[in-house]
Structure 1
Amino acid sequence: METKKQPVIIAFSTQKGGVGKSTFTALLASILHYRLDYNVAVFDCDFPQYSLIQMRERDLKTVMQNELLKKMAHKQFTTINKKSYPVFQSKTDTVLKELEEYLANAEIVPDFVFLDLPGTVNTAGILSTLANVHHIFSPITADRVVLESTLSFTDVLTNVLMKKKHTEIKSIHLFWNQVDGREKTPLYKNYGKVIKDLGISLMETSISDSKRFRKEGEMVAKTVFRSTLLPADPKLMALCRLDQFMDEFLRIVKL
């Protein structure tokens, strides 16, 4: 009996809310699924706000109400000949069981599964769930509170989880998000040194501060950035270096 292939499980995880976990989950899932020909599934475990479930509902409404986006979506789905990726509502302590059931019954096993997890270590089941994720990416900003909480969280993952024999974690990477071009580079250099001294991996690509990341209904005239139904516009990706980020991401997960 042939064994089914196993998906790569990814989580954008951090202790701090508002630094872009759900945004990056949606951005990467959409680029991989709609543009790069991978199959993706998303499990939203970020109770109680369930940002990705809400984002999908909003995206469906926006596309149906906007003729241009409706045409774009129609063209996309007929070209790639596959449906939008599923977004399941779940909880941190039940998601692994639900994921197992989904994979056992899926006609097409996804190449990637994204888990959108709550930003706190105290959530029931979060550490055992993270122990089953293959690659963890944590967005950080040049803010002392964000950095300290993320570094202590990453330290727990690196020194507690990765040292256990039964963990699935292959890599943990921090990356700079919302980088303000006007800020002095020494700031990032100094923080970078602290991260390196702690033995934590920092991605080469930093995402520049783009108000597009923080706008709620991100639908501009003729371009789309953050959507669960359409991939980010290449020009907008280049503006904030998301194109370089994708290349580095694929090198890390070796796909």
Structure 2
Amino acid sequence: MDTKKRTLFIAFSSQKGGVGKSTFTTLAASTLHYRLGYNVAVFDADFPQHSLMKMKKRDLAMVMENEALKKLAYKQFTTINKKAYPIMQHRADSVLEAAQEFANTSSVPLDVIFFDLPGTVNTPGILKALAGMHHIFTPITADRVVMESTLIFTQLLQDVIMKKGETSIETINLFWNQVDGRERTPLYAVYHNLIHQLGLSLMQSQVKNSTRFRKESEVNSKTVFRSTVMPPDERLMKACQLDLFISEFLKIIQL
């Protein structure tokens, strides 16, 4: 009997740039790996920018230059006694095979492999890569162009790829990002109804807008939010309701 634990393949994916897919990949991976005790790896297949590969280099340099962060990092790694999660660069058309090989040969059983995939269906191999995910999470904002692009993309995944049956996809989950808590726009109600009519799944948690999603740790910073080598600060997570998002995320993927 094969008792080998299954490694979940998860992607934050969208057809629209700037909605936070790479940021959420980092936030989720770092929270699960450094704070919650899971073992995580990341494949950066977002050619040509490969932003997560570049982010890790910047994060390591920032820790070495910042005494407060250096102490935080030392305390973290001696407490949890595990290395930073690996981030590997790969092409979208063969990333599934590379990830499966990595999971099979890893000295540490992997709970989740996150994939940062290109934001266009025209990229060679992207639909195959998406079909190989177990769970897909798609950030949306109350912007007409973003919504139109996202709903078309999500329907493509649900109606074409999932219904063909040749897929590993178990759930596709839309979630609100960059929500302005002061704004009472009727757009949210309109889009909620539309998402429901299309039979798509929308998460209950909404991530509030924050400038921290768009910037990394600064030279004199004493806290961390978006980082590949440390988890986001718990107070900052609570301020933008990222903590509620992670709780719902974990329930969906059933780790």
Q: Give the TM-score band, short-chain normalised.
A: over 0.9
**Cα distance, 1:90 vs structure 2:** 0.6
Shift of the 220–164 alpha-carbon distance from structure 1 to 2, 3 Å rule, reads: farther
| TM-score using structure 2 length | 0.97
Cα distance in 2 between the residues matched to 1:168 and 1:95:
15
State the AA in 2 paired with 1:67. E
Q: Can you list the C-alpha shifts for 1:219-239, whole angstroms capped at 9, x where unaligned?
A: 762110000000000000000
Task: Verify the 8 A CA contact 2:205 2:248 in the aligned structure 1.
Answer: yes
Cα distance in 1 between the residues matched to 2:153 and 2:201:
14
1:173 is the counterpart of 2:173: yes
Question: 2:137: which partner in 1?
Answer: 137
Q: Can you list the C-alpha shifts for 1:128-167, whole angstroms capped at 9, x where unaligned?
A: 1111100000001110000000000000000011112221
Task: Verify the 8 A CA contact 1:13 1:136 in the aligned structure 2.
Answer: yes
1:211 is the counterpart of 2:211: yes
- 2:178 partner SS: coil
1:34 is the counterpart of 2:68: no
Task: Verify the 8 A CA contact 2:65 2:219 in the aligned structure 1.
Answer: no
Q: Once the two structures are aligned, what percentage of the paired residues are identical?
A: 62
Cα distance in 2 between the residues matched to 1:249 and 1:103:
22
1:236 is the counterpart of 2:236: yes
Q: Can you list the C-alpha shifts for 1:49-88, whole angstroms capped at 9, x where unaligned?
A: 0010011000000001111111111110011011000000
- 1:72 partner SS: helix
State the AA in 2 paired with 1:245. F
Question: 1:114: which partner in 2?
Answer: 114
Question: 1:127: which partner in 2?
Answer: 127
> How do residues 42-191 of structure 1 correspond to structure 2 at under 5 angstroms?
42-191=42-191
Cα distance in 1 between the residues matched to 2:108 and 2:159:
36
**Cα distance, 1:218 vs structure 2:** 5.7
State the AA in 2 paired with 1:186. P
Misfit runs of 4+, over 6 Å: none
Shift of the 234–84 alpha-carbon distance from structure 1 to 2, 3 Å rule, reads: same
- 1:205 partner SS: strand
1:201 is the counterpart of 2:201: yes
State the AA in 1 paired with 2:180. D
Q: Number of aligned residue pairs: give it.
A: 255
Task: Verify the 8 A CA contact 1:212 1:218 in the aligned structure 2.
Answer: no
Q: Which runs of 5+ in 1 are unaligned?
A: none
Cα RMSD between the aligned structures?
1.3
Q: Can you list the C-alpha shifts for 1:97-149, whole angstroms capped at 9, x where unaligned?
A: 21122122111121010000011011101111111100000001110000000
Judge which range, 104-113 or 19-28, deviates more: 104-113
**Cα distance, 1:203 vs structure 2:** 0.5
Cα distance in 1 between the residues matched to 2:117 and 2:144:
22
Question: 1:252: which partner in 2?
Answer: 252
